[in-house]
Structures are given as C-alpha cells and as structure tokens.
C-alpha cells in the first residue's frame, strides 16, 4: 500500500530534485503546508500547546482593543456599515472580547461586517463556534472586502509569515538556504552574492557574517491592506514582537511545547516565527498614503488605554480572582515580560487620531 510521504520526506525530495531551498520556502512548508503544516494540524495555544498569546492571558487585552475600535468608529462618524477584519484570529478570543465591549455602543452591532483571515481549518472551526453570533465571513484573499471604512486587527500574525535570510560576506549578501548533508538538513549559503546597494540603507555597514531577515510576504500583505485602508478609510493595528528599526541579527526561532526547539527539527511540529521589522511595515504603509503613529510598546499602549482601571474594576467585581487579574496585567505590561518586547503599530487614514498612542 502506498503511504503519503511525510513533510520531512517531501522537503528532502524537493531539495534533492531542485537544490537547496530558501528559509522562506522551508518556513512556508513547515507552517502552512496544506495537509502537514504546523498551523494545519496543531492547536498551538494554551497550557498544553506551544505558546500562549496576550488575548489568552487575559480578557483585558481584547476589551481595551474593543474600546480602541469603538473610538475609531465614532471618529469616523459611526458609519452605517464598516468592516472589521482580523488576521490570524487564533481561537477567536481576541475578537470575542473586542466585540463584547464594542457592541455595547449603540449602532455598532448593526454596522458591523466581520471578516476573518485564517489558514488553519481547526482554528476556523473554533472561530466559528466562538463568533457565530456576529455572522463572520472568512476571506480567501483581499479582493472583496466591502467598500466602506475598514478596521484591521492583527495580534501575533506577522511573526508567523515566512522570512528570507541573507548573510553579509566580503563580496555582498548571500541568501541563507537549507540543503542536505547526507540525509540531514543543514544551513548553507547561496553562491550568488547580492550587491549591498540592493539592501536596506540601515544595514549598509553590517559586519561580515551578520544576518539580515526580510519578510517579503509581510511587506506584500501590508501593502495590499494599506491600499484598502487608504481607499476606504480606516486603520490597522498590528501587535507583535519585533524591532523598531531595520537591523541585522537572527531572530528566527522554533518553539515546541513552551521550549525552544531547533528550527530544522521535526518539520510541521515546531512553531517557527521571526521578529517583525516594524520599520519595513511602517514604510510600506506610508507609501500608500497612510499616517503611521510612532511605534508604541505593548505596555505603553495598554497603559494608555487604561489597563490599570480595567484591572481594578475587574478585581473589584471578582475579589477571589484579584491576584490573578493583577498578575495578568503585569504579564501584559511588565517591561521584563511582554510589555517592552511586544510593539504596537498603527497605520491609519490621515484624519483620524487613534487612542493609545499618548496623544
Ligand atoms: N491572533 C491569535 C493567534 C496568533 S497565532 C492570538 O493572538 O491568540 C497566528 C495565527 O495566524 C493563527 O491563527 C494562525 O493559524 C494564523 N496564520 C498563520 N499563518 C497564516 C497565513 N499565512 N495566513 C492566514 N493565517 C495564518
């Protein structure tokens, strides 16, 4: 009987037949291969999963973003219909907290056209179960996203998009590739150098052997979405771990069951991600005519949105949970926890003044 090849065998076959593959090709296969990719098969979240995200830590995260969304909707004069789009909604936790708060604003629920963009069938099922009452529609692409104003949310989405890596050598930058040594997967370099002038100016004086990461898919998606926002009016909020300026340094990482794992081991079973280059995303948004708020830390954003008042109110209503609520607040805003590493990027129509950025 013929057995379907494993993802590992498919990757080996592809390298043997067409040569070493880019880090982006490898990452794309590992994460979103139609039957064996990480996001197609695993439930990555929660205590038993590989990692835990901000909305899973506390409802306060989504609730404050709910206030943020309502505030923008009001600034846009409460349009009778508008699109709320989330990229990579996971279990639907963030959106359900957002909407529980936002739908208290009179008229908001009637105006809402909810769209979700998700690759994992298992997570689509969870989103369906959680968000059914709001009549969501799942997008295959961004061709048909209404014509009215649009607000886009993305938490820990851009870090999951495949990156390419380039290594600085004497004669230029060489793309890092994955090849085979016997039957073992190993990193190597493309023999063809790319001239330094075609790389971002910020890394012009990089030392030999420094690594530059570039997320082509992220930039492309940002460009597409920025054009939508620019044309239809609205804003985008992207929260992720990453850096404020384009810089060198490897950030590609593997995580399996709450521990770091080798990037090349067990394809499809390890979560692969990389830090987000927010400067690259912001410059794409500006090119489409959007205004971009100064990059804010997650701690700064949540503090500005009033997390400590929200925590006090919640703890007052649930005295037996008060300690947990304060601990969750600390986890979200603490400088040594998620507060500084995670950043908040907001790109928006020039006339709007999004809250949370200290204005
Ligand atoms: N926003 C959620 C989940 C973060 S994990 C939270 O904060 O809990 C990343 C999410 O993006 C998952 O839902 C994953 O399935 C989805 N995702 C990853 N790569 C994707 C892609 N290429 N296209 C669409 N969704 C993707």
d(Cα 60, Cα 76) in Å, to the nearest integer?
Answer: 25
pLDDT value for 44: 72
d(Cα 298, Cα 346) in Å, to the nearest integer?
Answer: 12
Token pair for residue 74? 């009001």
- Give 178's strand partners: 21, 187
CA 158 – ligand 1 centroid, Å: 8
Q: Is 28 in the pocket of ligand 1 (CB under 6 A)?
A: no
Q: Is 273 in the pocket of ligand 1 (CB under 6 A)?
A: no
d(Cα 71, Cα 68) in Å, to the nearest integer?
Answer: 5
pLDDT value for 86: 98
pLDDT value for 13: 96
Residues 279 and 246: beta-carbon distance below 8 Å: yes
pLDDT value for 359: 65
CA 351 – ligand 1 centroid, Å: 30
Residues 48 and 116: beta-carbon distance below 8 Å: no
224 CB-near residues (< 8 Å, 6+ apart): 142
6 CB-near residues (< 8 Å, 6+ apart): 36
The count of residues in the chain is 359
Q: Is 339 in the pocket of ligand 1 (CB under 6 A)?
A: no
The sign of the torsion formed by the CA atoms of 61, 66, 72, 74 equals negative
Q: Is 157 in the pocket of ligand 1 (CB under 6 A)?
A: yes
d(Cα 32, Cα 138) in Å, to the nearest integer?
Answer: 17
| C-alpha radius of gyration, the chain, whole number | 21
Q: Is 123 in the pocket of ligand 1 (CB under 6 A)?
A: yes
The sign of the torsion formed by the CA atoms of 119, 120, 123, 125 equals positive
3-state secondary structure of 296: strand
| Alpha helices (H) along 196-345 | 216-232, 278-287, 298-304, 307-317, 322-333
pLDDT value for 40: 83
Residues 238 and 282: beta-carbon distance below 8 Å: no
Q: Is 120 in the pocket of ligand 1 (CB under 6 A)?
A: yes
Looking from the CA of 82 toward its CB, the CA atoms found within 13 Å total: 24
d(Cα 358, Cα 49) in Å, to the nearest integer?
Answer: 35
Token pair for residue 123? 């997570």
CA distances from residue 306 to 57, 105, 150, 309, 329 in whole angstroms, order as listed: 17, 18, 24, 6, 11
pLDDT value for 147: 84
- Give 51's strand partners: 45
Q: Is 162 in the pocket of ligand 1 (CB under 6 A)?
A: no
Q: Which domains does the chain have, with CATH numbers?
A: 41-161+215-260+268-348 (3.40.50.12710)
Query: Could you list the pLDDT tens digit for every one of the 359 residues in the chain?
Result: 567 889 999 999 999 999 999 999 999 999 999 889 998 876 677 556 677 899 999 999 999 999 999 999 999 999 999 999 999 999 999 999 999 999 999 999 999 999 999 999 989 999 999 999 999 999 998 988 988 999 999 999 999 999 999 999 999 999 999 999 999 999 999 999 998 888 888 898 899 999 999 999 999 999 999 999 999 999 999 999 999 999 999 999 999 888 899 999 999 999 999 999 999 999 999 999 999 999 999 999 999 999 999 999 999 999 999 999 999 999 999 999 999 999 999 999 999 999 999 86
CA 160 – ligand 1 centroid, Å: 7
């Amino acid at each position: 009987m013929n057995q379907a090849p494993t993802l590992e065998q498919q990757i080996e076959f592809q390298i043997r037949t067409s040569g070493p593959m880019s880090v982006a090709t490898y990452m794309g296969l590992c994460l979103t291969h139609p039957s064996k990719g990480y996001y197609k098969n695993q439930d990555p979240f929660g205590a038993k999963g590989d990692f835990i995200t901000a909305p899973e830590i506390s409802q306060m995260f989504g609730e404050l973003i709910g206030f943020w969304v309502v505030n923008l909707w009001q600034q846009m004069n409460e349009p009778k219909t508008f699109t709320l789009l989330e990229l990579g909604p996971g279990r639907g936790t963030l959106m359900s907290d957002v909407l529980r708060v936002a739908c208290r604003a009179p008229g908001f629920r009637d105006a809402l056209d909810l769209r979700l963009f998700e690759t994992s069938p298992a997570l689509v099922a969870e989103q369906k179960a959680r968000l059914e009452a709001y009549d969501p529609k799942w997008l295959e692409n961004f061709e048909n996203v209404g014509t009215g104003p649009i607000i886009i949310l993305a938490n820990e989405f851009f870090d999951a998009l495949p990156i390419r890596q380039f290594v600085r050598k004497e004669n230029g930058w060489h793309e890092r590739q994955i090849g085979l040594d016997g039957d073992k997967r190993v990193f190597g370099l493309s023999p063809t150098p790319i001239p330094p002038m075609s790389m971002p100016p910020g890394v012009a004086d990089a030392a030999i052997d420094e690594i530059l990461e570039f997320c082509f898919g992220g930039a492309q998606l940002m460009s597409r979405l920025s054009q939508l926002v620019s044309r239809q009016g609205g804003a985008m909020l992207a929260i992720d771990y990453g850096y404020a300026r384009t810089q060198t340094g490897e950030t590609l990482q593997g995580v399996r069951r709450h521990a770091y794992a080798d990037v090349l081991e067990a394809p499809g079973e390890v979560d692969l991600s990389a830090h987000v280059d927010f400067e690259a995303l912001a410059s794409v948004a500006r090119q489409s005519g959007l205004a971009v708020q100064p990059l804010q830390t997650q701690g700064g954003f949540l503090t500005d949105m009033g997390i400590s008042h929200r925590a006090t109110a919640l703890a007052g209503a649930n005295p037996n949970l008060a300690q947990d609520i304060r601990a969750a607040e600390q986890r979200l805003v603490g400088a040594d926890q998620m507060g500084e590493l995670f950043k908040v990027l907001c790109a928006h129509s020039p006339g709007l003044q999004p809250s949370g950025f200290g204005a």
